C-alpha cells in the first residue's frame, strides 16, 4: 500500500522526517497562499476606490431614435433603478444624456466602470470568504495542536 501526504494512517516512526517536512511544506504553502490572497484583495479594493472616484452608475443604456429614418442623431438616456440614489435625488429614473459625443462617451464610461466595480466587489467578497474559511481551519488546527482556540477569526474581524 502506498501512503500519501494526506493519509493520516501512516505508521509511527515510518519515515518521520519525510512526514514532518511534508507538514511544514504544506503549512508554508497555506501561509504563502494567504499572503497572495490578501495582496489580491488589496489590489481589487484599491481599484474599486479608483472607480468610485471616477464615477460609476448602475443604469441601463437606452438609445432614443436609433436608426431614425429622418436622419436625426441618436440620443442617449440612462434608466436608473427605482431605488437608486439618482432616482431618489431627482425623483425620476431617467437621466437624459443627449446627442453630444463627449457626454455620450462619459455616460457609457460610467456604465462600464459600474459593471467593473460590481464584478470586483463580488471578487473581493469571494476572497474575503476564502480568507475567513482558511482562518476557521487554522482555528481548528490550533484546537488540535494546543487544546484551545487562538481566535484568528476575532483578529480577522477587527
- Cα-Cα-Cα-Cα dihedral sign, residues 66, 72, 73, 75: negative
Q: Which has the closest alpha carbon to 78: 99, 52, 107?
A: 107
d(CA 73, CA 51) in angstroms, rounded, equals 30
Place of cell 484599491: 46
Does this model's pTM top 0.85?
no
Q: Is the pLDDT of residue 66 over 80?
A: no
pLDDT at 146: 83
Q: pLDDT, tens digit, for every residue of 88-107?
A: 999 999 999 998 999 999 99
Q: pLDDT, tens digit, for every residue of 107-142?
A: 999 999 999 999 999 999 999 999 999 999 988 888
Q: Classify 14 as helix, strand or coil.
A: coil
Amino acid at each position: 500500500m502506498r501512503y500519501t501526504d494526506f493519509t493520516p494512517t501512516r505508521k509511527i516512526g515510518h519515515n518521520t522526517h519525510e512526514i514532518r517536512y511534508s507538514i511544514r511544506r504544506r503549512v508554508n504553502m497555506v501561509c504563502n497562499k494567504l499572503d497572495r490572497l490578501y495582496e489580491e484583495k488589496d489590489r481589487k479594493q484599491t481599484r474599486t476606490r479608483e472607480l468610485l472616484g471616477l464615477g460609476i452608475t448602475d443604469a441601463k443604456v437606452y438609445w432614443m431614435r436609433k436608426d431614425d429614418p429622418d436622419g436625426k442623431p441618436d440620443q442617449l438616456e440612462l434608466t436608473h433603478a427605482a431605488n437608486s440614489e439618482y432616482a431618489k435625488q431627482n425623483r425620476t429614473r431617467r437621466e437624459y444624456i443627449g446627442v453630444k459625443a463627449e457626454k455620450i462617451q462619459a455616460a457609457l464610461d460610467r456604465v462600464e466602470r459600474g459593471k467593473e466595480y460590481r464584478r470586483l466587489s463580488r471578487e473581493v467578497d469571494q476572497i474575503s470568504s476564502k480568507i475567513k474559511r482558511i482562518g476557521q481551519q487554522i482555528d481548528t488546527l490550533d484546537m488540535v495542536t494546543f487544546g484551545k482556540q487562538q481566535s484568528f477569526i476575532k483578529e480577522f474581524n477587527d
